[in-house]
Amino acid sequence: MVWLRDAVLPEDGPPDDIYRLAVPILCEMTHEDLADKLGPEYACGVAYGIERGLILANLRPEWARGLYHLIRGHYLEAHAEEDPHDWEDDAEQTVRAIPVAIPWQEIEP
């Protein structure tokens, strides 16, 4: 896959990448705009939620997949103006912004 390539992560690690790079993509606004609109802590909360969601999705993938389908169905019915197909674009932008190389041999359970 194009996005799965060797990458040197910053000293602050993946949580900093999520905060700096993923939050603006997924919220579709800058950190400054988020702070002005929703408060200075909002972006940190979003980043933490993404991080915890990734952990949960990997530990309980069947549950995460089921909940995804419930959320998607809800958006299709209740939020017609928000197209869940845009989620694919957001996902693509996010994986391109934060390339990941997995050191398989170093992962411990």
The per-residue pLDDT for range 55-72, each reduced to its tens digit, is: 999 999 999 999 999 988
Cβ(43)–Cβ(35) below 8 Å: yes
What's the pTM?
A: 0.70
CA distance 109 to 89: 32
What pLDDT band is residue 73 in, cutting at 50, 70 and 90? confident
The per-residue pLDDT for range 11-26, each reduced to its tens digit, is: 667 788 899 999 999 9
Q: Hey, how many other C-beta atoms are within 10 angstroms of the C-beta on 47? A: 20
CA distance 52 to 22: 14
The per-residue pLDDT for range 27-52, each reduced to its tens digit, is: 999 999 999 999 989 999 999 999 99
Residue type at position 65: R
Residue whose structure tokens are 């309980």: 60
